[in-house]
């Protein structure tokens, strides 16, 4: 699964740690999601979308091999 979390964080000028605190996860979780090593739950994806004020589909997209 591809994502644009790093880009969205840059737009809001927030660190991984800052985003993690806002949505209630660890910085390591944000890092793993950004690197594609962890697929977030639906609830976590929705929390991120709400924080970034966009749709889940604007942050996450499926790759051909997903």
**Domain residues of the chain, as ranges?**
2-59
The C-alpha R_g of the chain, in whole angstroms, comes to 11
Q: Is the pLDDT of residue 19 over 90?
A: yes
Is the model's pLDDT at 65 over the cut of 80?
no
| Superfamily of the domain at 2-59 | lambda repressor-like DNA-binding domains (1.10.260.40)
For the entire predicted model, the pTM comes to: 0.90
Q: What is the pLDDT of residues 34-50, one digit of tens each?
A: 999 999 999 999 999 99
Q: Is the dihedral of CA 43, 48, 53, 54 positive or negative?
A: negative
Whether the CB-CB separation of 6 and 34 falls below 8 Å is answered with yes
What are the φ and ψ backbone dihedral angles of 3, each rounded to 5 degrees?
-150, 165
Would you state the pLDDT for residue 63? Answer: 82
- Residue 47's pLDDT is 98
């Amino acid at each position: 699964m591809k994502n644009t979390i790093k880009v969205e964080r840059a737009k809001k000028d927030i660190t991984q740690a800052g985003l993690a605190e806002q949505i209630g996860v660890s910085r390591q979780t944000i890092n793993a999601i950004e690197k594609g090593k962890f697929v977030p739950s639906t609830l976590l994806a929705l929390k991120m979308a709400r924080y970034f004020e966009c749709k889940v589909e604007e942050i996450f997209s499926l790759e051909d091999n997903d």
